[in-house]
Copies of this chain bind each other. A is one copy, B any other.
Amino acid sequence: MAGSIFGKQFSISTWGESHGKGLGVVIDGCPAGLPLEEGDIQAYLDRRKPGQSRYTTSRKEGDEAEILSGVFEGKTTGTPISILVRNTSQRSQDYSEIASCYRPGHADYTYDCKYGFRDYRGGGRSSGRETIGRVAAGAVAAKILKELGITICTYTRSIGPVEIDDSRFDREEIGKNAFSMPDAEAAEKAAAYTKQCMEEQNSVGGVIECVVTGMPAGAGDPCFEKLDANLAKAILSIGAVKGFEIGDGFRAARARGTENNDAFVNRGNGIEKETNHAGGVLGGISDGSDLVFRAAIKPTPSVAAVQHTVSKTGENRELSIHGRHDPVIVPRAVVVVEAMTALTLVDALFAGMSAKMDNVKKIWGR
């Protein structure tokens, strides 16, 4: 089946491989009348660019976005928006060994099982470069959210064992350190820890946290299209993610009902929750509080340390992966989590527009 299409009302179709001619996305279902220019997309793509610190790959990826359709006189027309990013900096020779041998922690083996063969250059479609289409589309989704007063703040919560201290939370700090942490002190410790792992030819994982502010109540559909269920799918669809939790998440499983329930209160400005253990959803529908969720990112599977593996023909081998790899992909994944979140929210908001007869009449009733 088709696996590279995401979203029902606001659908994106991504394409491209690490070492092919380019990567991109077609967005279908973007409303007409949204101001959009290539700069909006470039700003997002630049956040996932490598080579910005010593803790990410030294590859230089220009990643310039070109809008090919769907925008006229500075506004979206309502028809598909095609965005293209040409590949420019691929060194195919780095990857020759992968052709005949399965890298542990990568998708080499499963692609061969599924398709019978694979584009082995740089992981092909399973490369992290696949996220370029997601991020470009996410930039458009984020612009829609902004028009509705919804903003997303995404950052690194932990790198290996180093976690931020909420009492030091400083939003301004996120863009200032190499780890996208809102806590300068934690970022320094994360740098020290990562440096040590690099020296040991090893790699590092971490946790990304996402907070959505300004979300209206009533988005998300009961049963299977719950807002948190769709967020979970969106986030787990990112290559290295191994876990998702919303609100108190796994901690809720240890709490008692009275500790985990959020009391409602009216302080004079309407109904709100006193706390937010739920993370902004009740019964899968947004409750007007901030959405708060986390994603667990595994350590980069490409390590220079020697690993055991097997060749395509079944012989046991030793493998040491060299080349330009990120020792930690968490900082670069922050914008990917943000993009997938924006895409999911826009799709849910559009889907929910026909929830009430009043809404239908408002739009079509004349």
Q: 8 Å CB contacts to B: which residues of A222-267? A: 222-226, 228-237, 239, 242-250, 252-266
Q: Are B233 and A79 in contact (CB under 8 A)?
A: no
Q: Are B223 and A130 in contact (CB under 8 A)?
A: yes
Of the listed stretches A47-55, A56-64, A176-184, A305-313, chain B binds A305-313
Q: How many copies does the complex hold?
A: 4
What are the residues of chain B within 8 A of A303 when measuring CB–CB?
257-258, 261
What are the residues of chain B within 8 A of A29 when measuring CB–CB?
1-3, 354
Find the B residue at minimum CB distance from A127.
B283
Give A94-123 as 1s and 0s: 1 = Cβ < 8 Å from B's Cβ atoms.
Answer: 000000001011110111011111110000
Say whether chain A's binding surface is mostly helix, strand, loop, or mixed: mixed
What are the residues of chain B within 8 A of A297 when measuring CB–CB?
252-253
Find the B residue at minimum CB distance from A102.
B264
Cβ-neighbour of A299 out of B232, B255, B301, B316 (below 8 A): B255
Give Cα A261–Cα B81 distance, bound, in whole angstroms. 31
In whole Å, how far is A103's beta carbon from the nearest beta carbon of chain B? Answer: 9
Q: Are B15 and A110 in contact (CB under 8 A)?
A: no
In whole Å, how far is A88's beta carbon from the nearest beta carbon of chain B? Answer: 14
Assuming A160-B253, A224-B233, A353-B354, what are 20 further A-B pairs, CB within 8 angstroms?
A: A10-B354, A15-B82, A33-B356, A77-B124, A78-B114, A78-B115, A110-B281, A113-B217, A126-B222, A147-B361, A203-B257, A205-B255, A228-B242, A242-B248, A243-B246, A245-B296, A248-B298, A252-B297, A257-B299, A258-B305
